[in-house]
Structure 1
Amino acid sequence: MDKLQGESFIWFPGWGGNSYGLLPIVEKLSFGLHYLVDPKSTDLESLTIETWVSEIFKKLPSNRKWNVMGISMGGLLAQEFTKQFPSHVKSLHLLCTNTGGKNNPYALNPETLKRWFSQSDDISDPLDRILRVCFTQDSIDSEVYQNYLSYLRKDPSPVVPKISRAQHRAVLEYSSRSFLSSIDAPTFIYIGEKDEVVPLDASLELLSSIKGSHLFKIDGGHFFFLEKSEVFENHLIKSFEL
């Protein structure tokens, strides 16, 4: 564990997420130096995954190698970061993600999209409606879920709809398939076995496309890293031993 204290991690958030939402995930880890990425808020009309990543890199220390962490949409940013700046990547960690929305049969679960954006849903609070799909049914009434929901409601700078829409467009236009086979950084793929947002087949595609990659399955939903934070941390520690 001591050798991990000096490891540098960069975290890319999921769709509509920011550093505020990432903080409770990182705070559960007992090691590492963590840089949390916020969404781009300017020039949204021309936002792409590629340009977003290149702008993020300009803000980082130039001499550091990163353990790159990507959650859901952030996994696309993490893959693109590894493509553009391979000499700055120590390892790649892809959580509940896929290869992008372009011509992808393993993109988001269409039933989940209906639940997220349904106006007739019993859940009137849009934040609650979106978040509860990311947890297993057994966790909805848990302290973990309720505390995280309450925490997000206090976000002083929540991601506004125009940013979320721009991110969604960028995801639909992106695909990492053409370069996955060229990734040579140690790669670790994490999936919640009960994920209702991103299909398991999406992780299996990443596993088969990135040579030497490893897959960790965790008994949880899309946000398994909160539901089973200790299990996730143990897998993350194990990744440094493989």
Structure 2
Amino acid sequence: MPFHAYRGWKERFSPTTRSEQSDVASEAAVVLIGDVRVDESIESLEAQRHSAWSAVSLPARAFSQFDPKAAREFVDGDAAGSAFFVFCLSGTILAEDALQRFADLFASEPGCDMVYGDVEVGAGAGAVWPLAFSAFDLERALEQGYGAYCFAVRRERALDALRSATSLYDIFLCCVEPGRTYHLPGSVAALPRIDASAATSELVAASKAYFARARHRGQCRAAKGRPSSGRSGQARRRLEGAHHHYHSDQKSRRAAQAMHRDGHAGGK
């Protein structure tokens, strides 16, 4: 498909949902990392078909590093009743059916703990290009972080990740589990521009942390007399080839802002 025909193709083959207004009564907690173009992200949340959500923007260092304490305050506060979390960069514009599709999938697929969707990137002059991903592949995730820019996680798995994660990639790789990580076809969001060099260094750090956890689990299995998988070692040998294709020089520095919705958004 020529990229110039993408908009027409997207309208013709738009993903189906259960109904115009989802009957899934689960609340979504949206974590925006950074404070660049936060208002645009909140406007896209206000337009969601899935009306139950709360959101927070966390100040970021470098590309997507954040203070875990601020995240935990949100988890214990406005997001205390949320069923799942959505993580993305500030400036991400969520498709109007994104939260509804995440909620519907979690309701219909009890074996799914985390889901990522396809995304769009700006191509200049108002054009957009699709990034259509494949079913989950651990090696690609470690090398490219391809599903980490907009993903949803069940509450329990998200809380576990936020005990130690300090970046967007870190959260994603803390939550991945082959067989329980799903791909949702169709765009769920348009991404802001990305600083490739800063993003790559954070992905490398998050991947190394993943390998450290895998080694620890392997040692625990060995101590119990069970064999461990060597799959992560294959990806580790290829990690240094990780790269990204999008650029920005914007960095987030302001204090965290929390927004909560019960039919409207308010500051905290």
Structure whose CA Rg is larger: 2
Q: Give the structure, 1 or 2, with the largest relative contact order (CA under 8 Å, sep 6 or more).
A: 2
Q: Please indicate the TM-score interval, normalised by the length of the shorter structure.
A: 0.3 to 0.5
Structure with the larger helix share: 1
